[in-house]
Amino acid sequence: MFTGLPEYPWQKLKPYRAIAQKHELGIIDLSVGSPVDPTPEIIQKALDNSTNAPGYPSTFGSLEFREAVVEWFKRRRGVTLTSDQVMPNIGSKEFISFLPLMLGLTKGDVVIQPSVAYTAYVVGAALCGAEIISEDDPANWPANTKLVWLNSPGNPDGRVLDAVELKAAVDRARELGAVVASDECYAELGWGRWESELIPSVLDPRVSGGSDKNLLAIYSLSKQSNLAGYRAAFAAGDADLIKGLVNLRMHSGLMMPTPVQNAVIAALGDEAHVQAEKAIYRNRRQILLEAVKAYGFKIAESQAGLYLWATLEEDCWATVTRMAELGILVVPGEFYQEGGSKYVRFSITATDKDIAEGAARLTNALGLKH
């Protein structure tokens, strides 16, 4: 049995969940980023109409699936691809966790992640024995770097890297001969400036210089389309990398079910449901943001995505305790490396009712008018 991983971090939240559950009005769980709204009907129908699927699906994905991804990248990300540059994933987390292993990384190799980082990057490095370094400045990446994880928009902090910042990372990685994998799962959920501008992809020609060599972008429909239960995601980029990864996945039996592929095609072809869901999140975010700031939190980044990255400038566990005593469960920034040690993450993926109740508790805690 593999024992190189620490205990799953969310286990540490159990005592605080217990505290929050004792609140007289019950717990408001703002810790998880799992969608709570219905899967759009157009996607459900596509799945329903695909239930007759007796044969094995293609690991590479159907041509229709890949062409739908190509069209979406052109329309929504400003990126031109061909169908041989696309592959389906069974959700983005499995791909992220196993990519270092699939790329052949081993002991002595370095994986770079952001200074505040999604937990799966550490897992991927650990599975192949590579060293992981949390470093945002490309100038500080060591010579034995083999894989660079970018995450824009970021989880948990909602940081968005512009094209100039992405290009600097790509240029440095190319000097080192490293693969760049960009986790872009929140790209349709920009706020402020990023409501009117497309959030750039690592495959954007302003970033790539017109060459996708050693570049991969990873995307998931869990957030934009409420498809977390479908495990619907894809990777795109360097055709040679895609070809090799597909071959490995064929040997491993990793393939997206045909009905899910057809659901993805429907989802990518319909912008209306994405905008409708974003409007719901926009309202929830504004309600929670006002209450969090009124309580005294300072908000950092949070330019996109489904979270507020907030600090009371104290140890994150002290803040988690404060919130649990109000019946609100939040995530300690410590889960996301040392850079988050004084932050907590509030999720806006709760129901309208729970967001409103959480906001009321925050404002009422200081005797403020809600």
Query: Tokens 């169908």 label which residue?
Result: 83
Q: What pLDDT, on the 0 to 100 scale, is given for residue 337?
A: 85
pLDDT of residue 77: 94
DSSP calls for 175-207: HHT-EEEEE-TTTT-B-THHHHSPPPPTTSHHH
331/263 Cα distance (integer angstroms): 32
Residue located via tokens 């760049």:
180
pLDDT tens string, the chain, 370 residues long: the values are 555 676 777 788 999 999 999 999 999 999 988 999 999 999 999 999 999 999 999 999 999 999 999 999 999 999 999 999 999 999 999 999 999 999 999 999 999 999 999 888 999 999 999 999 999 999 999 999 999 999 999 999 999 999 999 999 999 999 999 999 999 999 999 999 999 999 999 999 999 999 999 999 999 999 999 999 999 999 999 999 999 999 999 899 899 999 999 999 999 999 999 999 999 999 999 999 999 999 999 999 999 999 999 999 999 999 999 999 999 999 999 999 888 899 999 999 999 999 999 999 999 997 544 3
The reported pLDDT for the residue numbered 2 is 59
Q: What is the model's pLDDT at position 74?
A: 97
- Residue 265's pLDDT is 97
- Three-class secondary structure of residue 114 per DSSP: coil
**Tokens representing residue 318 in the block:** 């002290």
Confidence (pLDDT) at 4: 67
CA angle 90, 276, 78 (to 5 degrees): 65
Sign of CA dihedral 281, 286, 288, 293: positive
- In the block, tokens 């899910």 appear at 260
Phi-psi region of 57 (alpha: psi -120 to 50; beta: other; left: phi over 0): beta
Task: For residue 120, give the nearest of 146, 152, 155 by alpha carbon.
Answer: 155
Q: Report d(CA 291, CA 271) in Å as an integer.
A: 31
For the chain, list the domains and their CATH numbers. Answer: 9-38+273-364 (3.90.1150.10), 41-270 (3.40.640.10)
Given a contact cutoff of 8 angstroms between Cβ atoms, the answer to whether 219 and 184 are in contact is yes
Phi, psi of 302 (to 5 degrees): 55, 40
Q: For the whole model, what pTM was predicted?
A: 0.93
Separation of alpha carbons 161 and 206, rounded Å: 13
